[in-house]
Amino acid sequence: MPGVQSVERAFALLHEIAQKPSTLSELSRRTGLATSTVGRLLATLAKDGTVVRDRSGAYRIGPAVTALAAAADPAYSLVEVANRTLVELAARVGESACISIGQGNEIRHVAQINTAHPVQVKDWVGTRAPLHGGSPGLVVLSGWPDAQLERYLERRLLPMTVHTVTAPAVLRERVKQIRTVGHLWTHEEGADGISVVAAPVRNSAGAVIASLHAWGPSYRFPQKGTADRIAHQVVEAAERVSSMLGCRPATGIQ
């Protein structure tokens, strides 16, 4: 059956990539599959982040596989690893702390720690949003290869609020900022009245697998003069979780 054969070949590629990140030609040689077949399968796997291509041209296991693996094994689940750090971050910044993962062209919020404020953001766990709708999703986009990012930006990008940025040129600059300084603030772009600062969480291969962020009502978050300090705290929390996942510490804010 052609469909079953394609699945078998895709798993064979993933097995080889998990053993050693490789270029298209190397994967063709190691699997014995035609270069055109390998190219077609890799293009399909890259669409939803199952594999990613790095600057050297080698394909690596992508964040979609990492997220699935974490969900399948509670002992290594991202939520379990990150929970204590989220609790500490929420206490430090005095607002809710959350961790989210990319799924296709959306971000899904998977864990949130709230504070005792009488007015706070709602619990967003389980909800999804388009990746361009604020800094948590843009952090996920920052981990995508440029070609994959461009395909996303070619889509019709719908606003979530009147403040949502949908201009591809501006979104490219924001992704560049995240890659350079390690965080991004956005205000009322994903939901009315909410400001958020997010930073990337990376796995042992250095790939961005999640967004860790703090958010709160825009009228009090961030308080004047505290944005940089809070950003540092979020970056430090994201780096701590990344370290627990086997990633070398990032450089942080420049």
Per DSSP, the three-state class of 119 is coil
Helix H or strand E encompassing 84: helix 78-93
| Whole-model pTM over 0.75 | no
pLDDT of 3 strictly over 80: no
Domains in the chain, CATH or no CATH each: 2-61 (1.10.10.10), 68-244 (3.30.450.40)
Rounded-to-integer distance, Cα 192 and Cα 197, Å: 15
Distance of alpha carbon 69 from the chain centroid: 15
Q: Could you read off the pLDDT of 122-178 as tens digits, one per residue?
A: 677 888 999 999 999 999 999 999 999 999 999 999 999 999 999 999 999 999 999
What is residue 161's DSSP assignment? S
- Residues 94-103 have pLDDT tens digits of 999 999 999 8
- Where residue 225 falls (left for φ over 0; alpha for ψ -120 to 50; beta otherwise) is left
Digit-coded pLDDT (tens) for 189-220: 999 999 999 999 998 889 999 999 999 999 99
